[in-house]
Amino acid sequence: MADDAELLDARVVFMYKFFHRLDRTRSPDCSRTERRKMYELIADAFCSYGGDRKEVLEHAIKYYKLMFQHSVSDREKCSAAISVAQTLMDLESFDDAIEWFEKVLEFERAIGKSNIKLLHTQVLIFEAKCRRKFATRTSLLSDFDVLNSKIPDESPSLKASIYRAIGQFFASNGDQEASVYLGRAKRLSSETDAEESGEEEECEETSDELEARPDKAILRECMEVARLRNSDIEIEKDRDKEKNAHGETRLHIAARSNDTGMVDKLIAAVSH
């Protein structure tokens, strides 16, 4: 039961943040940059809340694409495209992921990313190609040879990634060469990259005031809103004409308990 309660609480907090952020995007005074940030936060929340469910990831992609649409600079477009591409990979929509990773590559070139960073994105594209439904051995080996020749020996982790990707493709198709490539990937993974990209990844923290609010505070607010709405419904039903066993109306009870908010509502209701 405790787990069920925690899941319900998490769902309430998630929905609260979702609707508040969505409402903010519709506000006339919401700037482009803030609207873009809201879409990113909404999409991130979908991934965190239910990233193992297809329908949730599809919602995340929708908002990452809105984030992309509200991007202006190549740098903004690049970060949004990365989010779309990576989420498509999680969704196993590999053809679409390739298309978006290719956009990422274009933006990275435009903003002057290092050769190693460009190779990293090309490795991601290759991994997606190895996992798509109609991948062919001949085509993948050709791409593998080209990419392997580009990756310097000083970057064994990138080489390990492409050996692992094609090795897993061979394994899924019962190809005996799988063990050769997977074994090579394992050996390369034990080595350390000697070359750094020379650039720090931009990990800009995206947050808003909702992120700073404790979940318990949000839950308390939701419970209070629910209580007030329920009282409104009850008042509307009978305008406080029903009495309890002692002949008291809700107005009497509210006054006795010093619930001034309820008293005001009841007076307003019966005065109509």
Higher pLDDT, 158 or 257: 158
pLDDT at residue number 270 = 45
Confidence of residue 24 (pLDDT cuts 50, 70, 90): very high
- C-beta of residue 85 within 8 angstroms of C-beta of residue 117: no
Q: Residue 128 CB: number of other CB atoms within 10 A?
A: 25
- C-beta of residue 159 within 8 angstroms of C-beta of residue 151: yes
Identify the weakest region by mean pLDDT among 7-21, 81-95, 175-189.
7-21
- C-beta of residue 85 within 8 angstroms of C-beta of residue 124: yes
Does residue 118 register a pLDDT over 70?
yes
Q: How far is the C-alpha of 219 from the C-alpha of 25, rounded, in Å?
A: 23
pTM: 0.78
Does residue 171 register a pLDDT over 60?
yes
Q: How far is the C-alpha of 42 from the C-alpha of 21, rounded, in Å?
A: 7
Tokens standing for residue 14 = 């998630």
From residue 60, give the alpha-carbon distance in Å to each of 68, 81, 112.
12, 13, 28
Q: What is the mean pLDDT of the chain?
A: 84
Report CA 96 to chain centroid distance, whole Å. Answer: 17
Residues 201-257 have pLDDT tens digits of 555 667 777 877 877 888 888 777 777 766 655 655 555 455 555 555 555 555 555
For 26, the 3-state DSSP assignment is coil
How many residues does the structure list for the chain? 272
Does residue 151 register a pLDDT over 80?
yes
Higher pLDDT, 1 or 83: 83
Q: What percent of the chain has pLDDT over 90?
A: 58
Angular region, 78: left φ>0, alpha ψ -120 to 50, beta rest:
alpha
Residue type, 137: R
Backbone angles phi, psi at 244, to 5 degrees: -85, -170
What is the rounded average pLDDT of the residues 111-115?
Answer: 96
Residues 125-135 have pLDDT tens digits of 999 999 998 89
pLDDT at residue number 218 = 82
Q: How far is the C-alpha of 174 from the C-alpha of 180, rounded, in Å?
A: 13
pLDDT at residue number 7 = 78
Does residue 258 register a pLDDT over 80?
no
